C-alpha cells in the first residue's frame, strides 16, 4: 500500500506521493487511475516528491489527469511547499521542477508565496510552431480569428482576453485551442476579463485535464500577458473559479511572484497496481 495526501489550492486538487525516502515507481497508467474521479482518488494533478539536490529541498514531478507529464504546476508546488515548510519549520524551501527552480516562502495563515522566475516570452520558448509576436496575435480557430497572447511559465499558455469570463466558451473552445498545430506541446488556455488595473477574472482549460477551479501558472501567465498589453499594473489579483491569487511581476528582476492559500483534504493509502488493474 502506498501512502498519499490529498491537497488543494483554491479547489485545484492534487494527490501527492512522497518518494523522498522510499522510491515510488509511478507510471502514466498509475497517475491516470489515481486521478480518475469515479474509480480512483480523484484530482486534477498527481504529484511525486523526490529527493532534492545539493541546492534544492526536493524535486517535483507532475502528472496531468490524462497521465501525461507537465513541466510545472504552481498550485501543486505551493501545496507541497506548505508540507515541507511545516515539516521542517522553515521559512523558505527550494523546489526543482522540469519547468525550472521554484523558491517558496511562508506567507502566513497557510498561504505560500512562490517565486516562479521570469516568464518566457519568445515564440520559440513557449513554444509555438512558427514565428509569432506573443504579445498579441490572431489565432485561427474554426474559421474565425481570435486575438490571443502566449506566455511560457515553464509550461505553455495561450491567453484570450474576453468581455465576460463567466460566459466564455471554456468547455468548447479550450480543447480545440489546446491541440492546435501552433502549439507543438499542446497548451493551457486562459479566458481573462480585465475588471480594472488591479483585478482580472480568469477561467481556465488545463492541458491534459480540462476545466479546473484554479491554475497558478495560468494566473501568472495571464497577469504577464495583461501587463505586456498595458491592461494591468505590476500587482494584480486574479479571481479564479475557486478563489483569488495575488500575482506580482517585479520590474527589478523580471521575476513573477504568486501568493495563495493551501489546504489538506485527507490522507490515505492505496494499492497502485490493483487500482490500474480494475475491469
Q: Mind listing the pLDDT tens digit of every residue in the chain (279 residues)?
A: 999 999 999 999 999 999 999 999 899 999 999 999 999 999 999 999 999 988 999 999 999 999 999 999 999 999 999 999 999 999 999 999 999 999 999 999 999 999 999 999 999 999 999 999 999 999 988 788 889 999 999 999 999 999 999 999 999 999 999 999 999 999 999 999 999 999 999 999 999 999 999 999 999 999 999 999 999 999 999 999 999 999 999 999 999 999 999 999 999 999 998 888 755
Please state the pTM of the whole predicted model.
0.93
On whether residue 123 sits in a domain, the answer given is no
Predicted pLDDT at 5: 98
Q: Tell me, yes or no, whether 78 and 141 share the same domain.
A: no
Does residue 73 have an active-site annotation?
Answer: yes
CA-CA distance, 184 to 205, in Å (whole number)?
Answer: 17
Q: Is the dihedral of CA 158, 160, 166, 168 positive or negative?
A: negative
Catalytic residue among 79, 104, 215, 220: 215
Q: Tell me, yes or no, whether 146 and 207 share the same domain.
A: yes
Burial of 272 (0-12, 13-18, 19+ CB in 10 A): buried
On whether residue 125 sits in a domain, the answer given is no
Number of domains in the chain: 2
On whether residue 88 sits in a domain, the answer given is yes
Q: Tell me, yes or no, whether 239 and 266 share the same domain.
A: no
Here the cell at position 183 is 502549439
Q: Tell me, yes or no, whether 232 and 272 share the same domain.
A: no
On whether residue 35 sits in a domain, the answer given is yes
Crossing angle for the helix pair 74-88 and 216-228, to the nearest 10 degrees: 120
Catalytic residue among 43, 73, 79, 220: 73
Which residues 6+ apart lie within 8 Å of 226 measured at CB?
Answer: 159, 161, 192, 194, 200, 232, 236
Q: Tell me, yes or no, whether 104 and 141 share the same domain.
A: no
Does residue 215 have an active-site annotation?
Answer: yes
On whether residue 17 sits in a domain, the answer given is yes
Q: What are phi and psi of 57, to 5 degrees?
A: -85, -25
H-helix or E-strand spanning residue 161? strand 156-161
Q: Tell me, yes or no, whether 154 and 215 share the same domain.
A: yes
Predicted pLDDT at 160: 97
Amino acid at each position: 500500500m502506498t501512502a498519499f495526501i490529498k491537497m488543494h489550492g483554491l479547489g485545484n486538487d492534487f494527490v501527492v506521493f512522497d518518494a523522498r525516502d522510499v522510491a515510488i515507481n509511478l507510471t502514466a497508467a498509475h497517475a491516470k487511475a489515481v486521478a480518475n474521479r469515479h474509480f480512483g482518488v480523484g484530482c486534477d494533478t498527481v504529484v511525486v516528491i523526490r529527493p532534492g539536490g545539493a541546492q534544492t529541498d526536493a524535486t517535483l514531478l507532475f502528472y496531468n489527469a490524462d497521465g501525461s507529464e507537465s513541466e510545472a504546476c504552481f498550485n501543486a508546488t505551493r501545496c507541497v511547499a506548505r508540507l515541507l515548510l511545516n515539516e521542517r519549520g522553515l521559512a523558505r524551501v527550494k523546489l526543482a521542477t522540469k519547468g525550472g527552480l521554484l523558491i517558496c516562502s511562508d506567507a502566513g495563515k497557510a498561504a505560500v508565496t512562490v517565486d516562479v522566475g521570469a516568464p518566457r516570452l519568445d515564440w520559440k520558448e513557449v513554444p509555438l510552431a512558427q514565428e509569432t509576436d506573443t504579445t498579441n496575435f490572431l489565432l485561427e480557430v474554426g474559421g474565425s480569428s481570435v486575438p490571443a497572447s502566449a506566455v511560457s511559465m515553464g509550461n505553455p499558455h495561450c491567453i484570450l482576453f474576453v468581455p465576460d469570463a463567466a460566459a466564455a466558451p471554456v468547455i468548447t473552445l479550450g480543447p480545440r485551442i489546446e491541440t492546435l498545430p501552433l502549439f507543438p506541446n499542446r497548451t493551457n488556455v486562459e479566458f481573462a476579463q480585465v475588471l480594472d488595473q488591479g483585478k482580472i477574472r480568469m477561467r481556465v482549460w488545463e492541458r491534459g485535464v480540462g476545466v479546473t477551479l484554479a491554475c497558478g501558472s495560468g494566473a501568472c501567465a495571464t497577469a504577464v500577458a495583461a501587463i505586456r498589453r498595458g491592461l494591468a499594473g505590476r500587482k494584480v489579483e486574479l479571481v479564479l473559479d475557486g478563489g483569488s491569487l495575488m500575482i506580482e511581476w517585479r520590474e527589478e528582476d523580471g521575476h513573477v511572484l504568486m501568493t495563495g492559500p493551501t489546504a489538506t483534504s485527507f490522507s490515505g493509502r492505496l494499492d497502485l497496481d490493483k487500482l490500474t488493474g480494475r475491469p
